[in-house]
Structure 1
């Protein structure tokens, strides 16, 4: 049995100074029971906790570390950058270099603004959409999480689902009133909303591949319907690719589906492990942002030179061959997980798109948040803890996504599948 005594003591102390002992709620392990791990370091595809335990890591800082932990080039570039200063509050060439690289990979992002988080990116994109269209209502989908800003916290997934927070305390009712929600992948439902409110809707924001209720791909019909309806009503379509950008595919989910949104939000991978978000899209829309236009946006650390360096260093290493390798590893792993579950007669639905993957203790199908909620979360909690004992660290919530990195090896995959088999044995015996 692995020993977690130092992590337990560290959590006890941190709980005296931070609500729940953490700075982001899902880290607290509330969904799975027990105390969270305190991590000392990461290397490649592995992390090490302060008790000296080693794990194959599929959380990867919740997605950013597509090159694994402490990638040598990223580390070296950041070390060099720190010697030149950590922040200037003035323009740098790095910002333009990263913007050009993002536009090269995601051509729909013609102009963009750098921010410091995915939440800030989606919040700013919504403000811009409202300012550009002179409308107030927005549409989002049940189980899609777009950060914790007020307008977007209604019927959200991710930690909101984990902690069963449905009425979003602290969010003014007027803001909730202007947020219309529809079931994910519900074509008829979104058509009805536009029939009733089309000329009032500023934008539709959607995760084209949902990653905050586990991995659930949007259907082609669903996403194309969103594109058609927003175009017809002169609303804007926002693809929230904070998670799926550079993860579902090199050029993002919008390339997979061949659907061009008006605005896109990015984050996670685009910062290479540093705090970065991006919102951008059509030039005529982005020119509504100050100082060119009337929609206000500002940020002291926006375009921070260290964050820009981390992003550039990461994106410059990505290429089609690397993605083929990661996709093959993800496919091998998810097939192995499904086989292990079938061999143990445990109902499991396994989804993966690109380097994103998740498993639901649910016979399926799983196409929306209502389907996700049918999953056996009690079994998940037991299984998660059993996996930890076998040296595999996955997301500590049935409602979250796991990730593959370029550093995961065939040996890692084989060990992980063996760990899943062993964990199924442990839970059935326990």
Structure 2
């Protein structure tokens, strides 16, 4: 197939494989079970001594053994975030029953997002530099820290020579990556691996996250991260994320893809107006409207919203105002299962998309754990306590990054 053939083919962007690696689940179904039963991955950080830090809780991926997933030659050249990305990509491709054996190399591509880089790898190598000298620094430091390395390593490992991109837009980056992968599919690529993971749970990375001023200092894991709660004080950082396999509908059908989770039907990204601006609406509203317009749906067609859910009172209030403007008072169920994992930076959006697709598959809205009291002024129908079973066909997923990034995607079930 050539790009010239694309207009005559069904190029809807279908999700045919999920690869999840999260603090509360090392596989898609393990994670999904944890979401529905309220099993949290937030605990005291154990990678180093955190006793001197104001915040000591994190969504930490435990029991991941890199040697079980990757060949030995890759271990010396990869940061923990790249190991997560490679493992998640392998899982997604296995789930889709696809890869180099089923698709031509130039018809496959990779788009990933990364917000933090290879913090742990770089911190270790810098310590060698300071303690022992430059001759002890790994040659792999030249790329292991880099934001684009996950795209490169996944491409090399799977002989994917088509479009390759890397995006850096903090918490919004993962949705932006999926949007760019969709664009590649619409332009002629048969298959894209896309999403994001992040990890920075070493001393340097941890200090960098705390310096942002939005991390909760509450030490009770059940009360530290409370999206849309009257007692919200900030968020808990986490690590991990999700990689997805996205295929053109024609290509998936021709090769006999074993399953289709749904369609990524629309995406839009915006920036917030400058502080003090009065004539422009918030960028989150414009992103949501753009994604819905691209998907050809109205607000009334959205069955559930997976919120950005910053856990910072001012940001939660802003998002609630946007949701009211889009859907009216209590107009649509809203959920934030990320309260079980912490905010995963570039991994958060793709993990929410995977969760949304599982919700559509099983007709259930997962609850927002631990949140108890939503201020009346927010006017949102936040799903609390227990999963809500109802027919679902279309979901809106939102993400906001620091410094004004906004991103939104619309996903719909395969039957919609």
TM-score, scaled to structure 2: 0.28
TM (norm. structure 1) is 0.27
User: Which is greater in Rg?
Assistant: 1
